[in-house]
Structure 1
Amino acid sequence: MKLEEDKTSKVSYLSPDIQNEFINVLSNHVKTKLFNEIKSAKYFGIMFDSTPDISHIDQNMSEVILYVKIQNRKVEDKEAFLGFFPLQGKKAADLNDEILDKLQFRQTI
């Protein structure tokens, strides 16, 4: 038996581009469901937080939404991590503008 005879070819139709597209489609579906649930919540809170790196410069801001889901007389407090976004400045006015821009974008979704 030759070594070449044992080799079987495997075909994969999931190229990196297809995999990324699949991940994006799933991500958008989850975000849509999540935003719909948050929009239907009576109570919610928004939390933005950043952590400085070793040089004391804030690199990324995290965005978290806390909300209360009430369904069939059952009350649940929920927390949704929406992701990170890069910071352009470190002054209070810069942070304020970036957070407001992010919230404005979320409102259009």
Structure 2
Amino acid sequence: MLGNDYNIFGGGSLDHSLFSTVNAALSSDGFHDWSSASVRLVEHEKSSGHLQASVQWFEAEQRLKKGCSLDSIHQQRITDEKLRWQNVFQHLLAIVQFLSEHNMAFRGSVDKLFEPKNGNFLGLVQLIAKSDPVMQEHLRRIKDEEIHDHYLGKPIQNELIQLMGNKVQKTIIDRITASKYFAVILDCTPDVSHKEQLSLTIRYVSDGSTVPIGIYEHFIEFIEVKESAGKSLLDVLLDKLVTLGLNVQEIRDQGYDNGANMRQ
């Protein structure tokens, strides 16, 4: 049995109505006896507050079904903006790939759009924008100062180059791993700042599982070394092979050039 002081309708001081702004007894104080339930429910259903809340709920339900709610509109804008940036980055990656494949310089003496001598990267961005609506809209936003993070600066260029380089290197390492045995070719050459650099090249024979059967030779990367003596080069090579995930036990040939031991 329910006690006489148990509130069977309503929730005390809490308002359980989502849409109604009327502080009715049914939604606030409630009632203490069953005999009043049918009468109060009929009164509540005919009240202006309940009718207004019902209309608001019906309108909200229709907007949710049609995707016209404020939240869905904002979500659609977020989705559209995300797709726009994805399209912009696809264009930037295509430019990076083109310049890298053709061994062309990225930057010029100026790092600003629509300025003479601003380099190949920004020049290609401007060229593509003449016929491509995605890049055209991107440059318009930059010119009108609607956006300040345009992702055309040299830090982004360097990051895209690094990301694409990592992907290419991983593909090469996967091919070498699939072929199992390989040869290493090391060559020490000082750069323009007179720092000794070690170029690592790997040669392998493909069994046809990843690429057509044949002999392949790939440059892996430049490694800065402090000295070009044999022991130093060996330590650098072993560390790099571990980083690349290659097993030194699977080396079947070695080639060295410009090493200190050989120069002597």
Using the size of structure 1 for normalisation, the TM-score is 0.71
CA RMSD of superposed structures (Å) = 2.5
Instruction: Give yes or no for the alignment of 1:39 onto 2:177.
Output: yes
Among 238, 243, 247, the residue aligned to 1:100: 238
Cα distance, 1:58 vs. partner?
A: 7.6
Residues of 1 paired with 2:241 and 2:179: CA distance? 16
Whether the aligned pair in 2 keeps the contact of 1:69 and 1:77 (CA below 8 Å) is yes
Please say if residues 188 and 228 of structure 2, whose CA atoms lie closer than 8 Å, have aligned partners that are also in contact. Answer: no
Q: What amino acid maps onto 2:229 in structure 1?
A: K
Distance (Å, rounded) in 1 between the aligned partners of 2:177 and 2:228: 30
Identity of aligned residues (%): 32
Q: Is the 8 A contact 2:198 2:225 kept in 1?
A: yes
The 5 A counterparts of 1:43-62 are: 43-51=181-189, 59-62=196-199
Cα displacement (A) at 1:52: 5.9
Matched, 1:68 2:222: no
Given that 1:50 and 1:58 are in contact with CA atoms closer than 8 Å, whether structure 2 keeps it comes out as: no
Tell me, what secondary structure is at the counterpart of 2:175?
A: helix
2:223 to 78, 85, 89: 85
Which of the pair is proportionally richer in helix? Answer: 2
Higher relative contact order (CA 8 A, sep 6+): 1
1:48 to 1:58, Cα distance in 2 relative to 1, 3 A: farther
- Extract unaligned runs of 5+ from structure 2: 1-138, 143-149, 247-264
Q: How far is the alpha carbon of 1:62 from its aligned partner? A: 0.8
Indicate how the Cα distance of structure 1 residues 22 and 42 shifts in structure 2: closer, same or farther if over 3 A, else same.
same
CA distance in 1, matches of 2:235, 2:195: 15
SS at match of 1:71: coil
User: Structure 1 87/71 Cα, relative in aligned 2: closer, same or farther at 3 Å?
Assistant: same
Q: Match of 2:230, as an amino acid? A: A
SS state at 2:238 partner: helix
- Partner SS, residue 88 of structure 1: coil
Matched length: 95
| Closer, same or farther: CA 95–38 of 1 in aligned 2, 3 Å | same
Q: Rg: which structure is higher?
A: 2
Q: Show structure 1 runs of 5+ residues with no match.
A: 1-9
After superposition, what is the alpha-carbon deviation per residue over 1:12-46, rounded to whole angstroms, capped at 9, x for unaligned? Answer: 54222222222122111111111111110143111
How far off its partner does 1:75 sit?
1.9
**TM-score normalised per structure 2:** 0.32
Distance 1:22 1:101 in 2: 26
